Amino acid sequence: MCRTVDLHQAVLAKNDENALALRSYLGDRGTVAVNLLSSPGSGKTALLEQLLARAVAGGTPAAAVTADLATENDATRLARSGAPVRQILTDGLCHLEAGMLQRRLEDWLPEGTRLLFVENVGNLVCPASYDLGETLRIALASVTEGEDKPVKYPAAFGLAHLVVITKTDIADAVGFDREAFLAGVQQVNPGVPVLETSARTGQGVDALLAHILRCAAGDEAHVPVLARQHERYLHSHENGDGHPRTEEHPHADGPSPADGHQHPHQREDGAARSRTPAQEHAR
């Protein structure tokens, strides 16, 4: 007899196990993870640099892990904020996995870290399927990318707890149709909050950080409708203030068929190279 084994589903199931363990690990430390997803060139790194700098200035212990296929450029930029930063090089893998992140955090994540920002690989397909043990998943899109981004990538935007528009300072110059974009967001993720930001002018950055901090303090995050339509885990953990929190996190088998993306380059063990950038801050 021949037996068919769905390797993609096996990889996703293993990732869910790792995500559950990572979520418990972070919860025990009182750390809230924020998973940032976007296309390349969306301005995600510039916005994150602003968020980290303001968190540090405001006395909130924050750290960041950034992932790329190659180079440590983003980690070097983010380290200018004064926050501890680590780089993960994925060796061509188009997304982060929970096991990669957990290995990078071991023996590094500073004690007392309240916010851990995870800058995922620039890609709106693969990362949508992988739970990283996050409390908040934020999907970003710049005004230069087109109003139909949410409906073209329904899993990435449909599973987000928050949607952020970036580079709003040039919205008029590029003819950004705000209403069409917002309609697309609500089509794939009804009720999800949307914030508009500009890393250049600072517009919306404080509001975004405040939203993240409220969720970290125990405010209930938006639960995407799409998450309820697929298998998911219910995770109970503490916010760090002693109050238990229950969240819904999508089981990763739902979104990927909609995106139609394959992973021919997936490693069996999900391993990736990790390095520390030259300008990395240890603490």
Q: Supply angle C-alpha 110, 126, 32, rounded to 5.
A: 25
Q: What is the pLDDT of residue 92?
A: 74
134 Cα distance to chain centroid: 7
Q: b/e per residue, 244-277, with b = 16+ CB within 10 A?
A: ebebebbbbbbbbeebebebeebeeebebebeeb
CB-based contact 75:86 (threshold 8 Å): yes
State residue 90's pLDDT score.
85
pLDDT of residue 255: 39
Looking at residue 10, its pLDDT comes to 65
Instruction: Check: CB of residue 249 under 8 Å from CB of residue 227.
Output: yes
Give per-residue pLDDT as tens, 246-278: 444 444 333 333 343 444 334 333 334 333 333
> Which residues, including other chains, have CB under 8 Å from residue 151's CB and lie 6 or more apart?
184, 187, 188
Instruction: Give the span between the Cα atoms of 40 and 20, in whole angstroms.
Output: 28
pLDDT of residue 24: 96
Confidence (pLDDT) at 8: 56
Read off the pLDDT of residues 38-75 as tens digits, 9 standing for 90 and up. Answer: 999 999 999 999 999 999 999 999 999 999 989 999 99
* Reported pTM: 0.80
Distance between CA atoms of 212 and 226, rounded to whole angstroms? 21
pLDDT of residue 184: 98
Amino acid at 246: T
User: Tens of pLDDT along the chain (283 residues)?
Assistant: 555 445 557 668 899 999 999 999 999 999 999 999 999 999 999 999 999 999 999 999 999 999 998 999 999 999 999 999 999 998 877 889 999 999 999 989 999 999 999 999 999 999 999 999 999 999 999 999 999 999 999 999 999 999 999 999 999 999 999 999 999 999 999 999 999 999 999 999 999 999 999 999 999 999 999 887 755 433 433 444 433 344 444 443 333 333 434 443 343 333 343 333 333 333 3
CA distance 132 to 128: 10
Distances (CA, A) of 18 to 11, 91, 99: 11, 20, 6
